[in-house]
Amino acid sequence: MESNKMKLQKNIRRHNIYLIPIVILLVIMGFCIIKADEESKQQLPEPIKIVNTNSADEYASIDVQFLTDSFASDDEDEYRFAMDKDNYMSIVVLNKNDVEILKDINDYTYSEDNSIETPATLKILGMTQEIPADLKKLAIESYNENYGESILTENNFEEYVKNIYLNTKLSPRDTPLLGFAIFCGGVAITLLVVYLTIVIKTKKTLREYTLNGTLEYIYNQLDQLDTLEYNKGKIFLTRECIINSTDGLSIIKYDDIKWLYPYIYKVNGITTGRYIKIVKNDKTKVTILVDAGSVTKKGTDKFNIVYNEIYQRAPNALSGYTQENINLSKKYVIE
């Protein structure tokens, strides 16, 4: 049978399990970055003219001879009609840099000066994407407004414009690998921060309660007959203190507790954890997770037992989140 000392040691060591997913995620991130770099160096395929396709996810091009003003925008991107020298019309998505490059063609499109020189066509490249319903509606309204009559409709839209647009922000080199690498890196950093927080918290507690380089004080507390254990050795209630290793080792002496109250955390109305909030005499706050998951009678009973036991062992503590206790504790609590 495991002693309380062994259970506590095991729970402190178990936090090292965070290192496993961190290493795995970093390896996956590195692999994705390498593969994405390899794909970025591959030669691009020959683009097809957008007039020759009506499919999404094609690498396509259009030699722009005419360019309208934007009829819709999304952040820094603009949606415009572009036409080639044969007056074949497409919808294109342009960023600010593209708009500046195509400025002369845009000016030429709206110029009433018949003597103005026709600018050279400019080829723009991108990936074709299906036109969503809301964008199609705006395109129809803009087109008909420019021509002064209802020419473009839902029924003939494909004949005039097709059901795809050219997104110049995308290319065949765009790969989900890089995005997945960023995601893995973000999760790894988050887990690393959690792990380091736990390690720092544990080391700080050990420094404070180490006696002559040993953990004699903690082990003596665990060996006492009236020590109670909960959550598989993650919470110990000893004669003098709470020893909690749920999220890093912490020790709270009952004499230091000024106020405690239950707290139930819910997500979308579903209980995901039941905690005991503790306010110490030095105005610091401590949260102890007693039960995780949905409300059950067994979980409620366990929570009540732990809460009541702490309250009985804390002689000077206020109990419960009541207005009276809030008022009494204001001079102790930093809100």
Residue 2 lies in a domain: no
Both 298 and 233 in one domain: the answer is: yes
Both 56 and 96 in one domain: the answer is: yes
Residue 259 lies in a domain: yes
Both 210 and 233 in one domain: the answer is: no
Both 140 and 91 in one domain: the answer is: yes
Q: What's 289's domain CATH number?
A: 2.30.29
The number of folded domains in the chain is 3
Residue 305 lies in a domain: yes
Tokens of 39: 């794909």
pTM for this entry: 0.65
Tokens of 68: 């309208």
Tokens of 289: 């997770």
Cα–Cα distance measured from residue 82 to residue 59, given in angstroms and rounded to the nearest whole number: 17
Cα-only R_g, the chain? 33
Query: How many other CB atoms sit within 10 Å of the CB of residue 112?
Result: 5
Residue 74 lies in a domain: yes
Both 256 and 315 in one domain: the answer is: yes
Residue 123 lies in a domain: yes
- State residue 264's pLDDT score: 84
Both 270 and 310 in one domain: the answer is: yes
Both 129 and 276 in one domain: the answer is: no
Alpha-carbon separation of residue 101 from 107, 169, 171, 255 (angstroms): 12, 15, 19, 73
Instruction: Decide the pairing of beta strands 89-94 and 164-167.
Output: parallel
Both 178 and 33 in one domain: the answer is: yes
One-letter amino acid of 177: L
Instruction: Decide the pairing of beta strands 59-64 and 122-130.
Output: antiparallel
Residues spanned by the domain of 127: 48-167
Tokens of 96: 């600010």
Both 60 and 156 in one domain: the answer is: yes
Both 130 and 186 in one domain: the answer is: no
Both 38 and 181 in one domain: the answer is: yes
Residue 9 lies in a domain: no
Tens-binned pLDDT, residue by residue, of the chain (335 aa) = 678 888 888 888 888 999 999 999 999 999 988 888 877 777 777 888 988 888 888 889 999 999 999 888 887 888 999 988 888 889 999 888 888 888 899 988 888 887 788 888 999 998 999 988 888 899 898 888 887 778 888 888 888 888 899 998 887 776 678 888 899 999 999 999 999 999 998 888 888 877 655 677 788 888 888 888 888 888 999 888 899 988 888 899 999 999 999 888 888 877 778 889 998 888 888 888 888 766 677 778 888 899 999 999 988 888 888 888 777 766 554 44
Query: How many other CB atoms sit within 10 Å of the CB of residue 207?
Result: 8
Both 72 and 143 in one domain: the answer is: yes
Alpha-carbon separation of residue 206 from 175, 195, 199, 211, 251 (angstroms): 47, 16, 10, 9, 9
